[in-house]
Amino acid sequence: MILNTAPIMLQGPWERGYSLDKQVLRSEFIGNNQYGYPMFDTTRTEIGDAMYQLKYQDNYEVLPNIIETASDFLLKSYLIDTKFDDITAVLPSDYLRERQPVFQISNGIAKKINISFSTNYIIKVKKTPQMKDTPIEKREGILLDAFQIKNKEELKKKKAVLIIDDLYQTGTTVKVITNLLKKINRNLVVMILTITKTRNY
**pLDDT per residue as tens digits for the range 5-19:** 999 999 999 999 999
User: In this predicted structure, what is the pLDDT of residue 186?
Assistant: 93
H or E element: which one contains 143? Answer: helix 136-144
pTM of the model: 0.87
Helix (H, G, I), strand (E, B) or coil at 100: coil
H or E element: which one contains 8? Answer: strand 8-9
Which residues in the chain show pLDDT less than 70?
79-80, 92-98, 128-142, 144, 201
| Radius of gyration of the chain measured on its C-alpha atoms | 17
CATH of domain 8-197: 3.40.50
User: In this predicted structure, what is the pLDDT of residue 77?
Assistant: 84
